[in-house]
Amino acid sequence: MPKASNATLLLAIKPSKRLKRLVIIVHALALVASMATALTFSVKISLWVLIGLHYGLTGRRLTAKTVIIKHTESLGWELSEGGNFASIEILKSTVITTFALFLHYKHRSQPKSWMSGHKKTRLVLNDALADKDYRRLIVKLKTTAIK
């Protein structure tokens, strides 16, 4: 009888549609709020331009490449952001909910520099994976990384 905990976990985390909608709503509210202020018209135009630029940059980042996360018993946790897999260490500060996963990690094989040991965070909403895969990821995190 094969053990489920020894199986390799390989998941492709796609950009979340819910997060994209939330970003659109927040930027639209910011535009409405900037129109309702008692500022001069030139300042309002400047705010609109800044909000538009921020939306463009944020929107581009949200439609970034698919991230692949992998766990094997021999190599541990690995993450790929469009390139090769890099070995990572999942930190105990990772937050797991049924709606979202705030994955805190740091790279193990980073060269020594001022960024070595730098902690990173990846937001994984539950719509970025299939329901079954999201549950598998949560179980694997709870059993291997967060104890």
Provide the whole-model pTM.
Answer: 0.75
Supply the pLDDT for residue 118. 81
Q: What type of residue is 70?
A: K
Work out the widest C-alpha separation in the chain, in whole angstroms.
Answer: 73
Domain range list for the chain: 4-15+65-145, 17-62
pLDDT of residue 1: 40
Query: For the chain, how big is the Rg over CA atoms in Å?
Result: 19
90 vs 48: CA distance, rounded Å: 39
For range 32-53, the mean pLDDT? 91
Mean pLDDT computed over every residue of the chain: 85
Give kind and range of the element (H or E) at residue 9.
strand 9-13
